[in-house]
């Protein structure tokens, strides 16, 4: 199990990986990133993640290296780390410059790829489910740092998770939008099951267009599972029959406690289990 970092065009050990204190990713969170997981030893949905990385970069006017260059860096670093399953983080920063906020002041994109062992969730977390807490920290307005842009500026989410952990030791924080409806987790999208129907907030609520979320939506559609993208109130989340969260390194993970109260009978429900099974079939088949 090892960590390897691709930085400045070469692969090195974590303790050798250094970046300038003048880098705008460090100074301002002026960067974009992606987290990708492997499943059954292969990168899952790499192309979807690269498309989103390019889209995020375009939205903030950050120049992206050619896709083939990123793909090679990722493949080489995953191979160098040699883990059975990996978690891959691709970071693009605008580069280092003078202490000048103007993004036009610098155009020196730095690419960093970090490969870790995949790590949790553990099998027990999938079997028993995890807890979430609805926090007071609001999801960023799409008119501020648009949640659709996966930027390195995660302070809002950092504070949200801090609140959830402090308040109830919850595994994940759930942030709401300005209208009070449920938006998403600090690093995950959220789904509920109500009256047998899978429901998740639409992109218009102001959330990240999760790659796992969109795979789950496709799986529901293809398998006749009733589905609706709709606004979800806090009360609906607290009263849901089932709840699960999704992200690249977790797939679909059951939630069995919301704000310290059990969801349904406190065990992962049948619809969640079905979605997890379908996702596993997809992961086994592989998505390029
Ligand atoms: N986070 N919403 C937010 C705010 C996220 O940060 C993430 C992913 C998701 C899920 O998106 P996807 O299915 O594409 O992973 C939703 C990753 C795991 C991270 O921050 O490392």
Which pLDDT tens digit goes with each residue over 189-246? 999 999 999 999 999 999 999 999 999 999 999 999 999 999 999 999 999 999 999 9
Asked whether the whole model's pTM tops 0.85, one would answer: yes
DSSP secondary structure, 122-140, as one string: PHHHHHH-EEEEEEEEEPP
Task: For residue 263, give the H/E element and its range.
Answer: none
| Closest to 6 measured CA to CA, from 73, 69, 64 | 73
Q: Which atom belonging to ligand 1 lies closest to the Cα atom of 186?
A: 4
| Separation in Å, CA 261 to CA 30, 175, 208, 255, 264 | 39, 17, 27, 11, 9
- What pLDDT does 97 receive? 87
Q: Which atom belonging to ligand 1 lies closest to the Cα atom of 52?
A: 14
Which residue's CA is the closest to the ligand 1 atom numbered 4?
187
Cβ of residue 35 lying under 6 Å from some atom of ligand 1: yes
| Residue from 35, 50, 152, 153 whose mutation best tests the ligand 1 pocket (most atoms within 8 A of CB) | 35
| Span 240-267, pLDDT tens digits | 999 999 999 999 999 999 999 999 999 9
Percent of the chain with pLDDT strictly greater than 70: 100
Cβ of residue 210 lying under 6 Å from some atom of ligand 1: yes
| Separation in Å, CA 2 to CA 44, 82, 85, 86, 171 | 20, 7, 11, 9, 25
Question: Can you list the domains of the chain with their CATH numbers?
Answer: 4-117 (3.30.470.10), 123-285 (3.20.10.10)
Confidence of residue 99 (pLDDT cuts 50, 70, 90): confident
Q: Which atom belonging to ligand 1 lies closest to the Cα atom of 214?
A: 13
Confidence of residue 98 (pLDDT cuts 50, 70, 90): confident
20-30: b (≥16 Cβ within 10 Å) or e:
eeebbbebeeb
Query: Can you tell me the mean pLDDT for 262-287?
Result: 98
């Amino acid at each position: 199990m090892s960590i390897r970092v691709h930085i400045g065009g070469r692969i090195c050990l974590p303790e050798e990986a250094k970046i300038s204190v003048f880098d705008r990713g460090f100074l301002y969170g002026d960067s974009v990133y992606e987290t990708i997981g492997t499943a059954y030893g292969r990168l899952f949905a790499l192309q979807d993640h690269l498309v989103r990385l390019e889209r995020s970069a375009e939205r903030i006017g950050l120049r992206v290296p050619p896709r083939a260059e990123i793909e090679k860096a990722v493949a080489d670093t995953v191979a160098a780390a040699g883990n059975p399953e990996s978690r891959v983080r691709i970071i693009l920063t605008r580069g280092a410059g003078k202490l000048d906020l103007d993004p036009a002041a610098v155009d020196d994109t730095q690419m960093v790829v970090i490969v870790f062992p995949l790590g949790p969730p553990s099998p027990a977390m999938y079997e028993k489910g995890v807890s979430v807490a609805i926090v007071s920290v609001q999801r960023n307005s799409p008119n501020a740092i648009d949640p659709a842009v996966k930027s390195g500026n995660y302070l809002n989410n950092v504070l949200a998770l801090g609140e959830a952990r402090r308040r109830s030791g919850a595994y994940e924080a759930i942030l709401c939008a300005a209208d009070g409806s449920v938006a998403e987790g600090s690093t995950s999208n959220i789904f509920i099951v109500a009256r047998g129907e899978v429901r998740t907030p639409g992109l218009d609520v102001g959330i990240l267009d999760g790659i796992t979320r969109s795979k789950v939506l496709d799986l529901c559609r293809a398998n006749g599972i009733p589905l609706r993208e709709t606004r979800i109130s806090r009360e609906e989340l607290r009263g849901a029959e089932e709840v699960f969260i999704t992200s690249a390194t977790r797939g679909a993970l059951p939630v069995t406690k919301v704000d310290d109260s059990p969801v349904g009978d406190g065990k992962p429900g049948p619809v969640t289990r079905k979605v997890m099974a379908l996702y596993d079939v997809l992961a086994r088949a592989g998505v390029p």
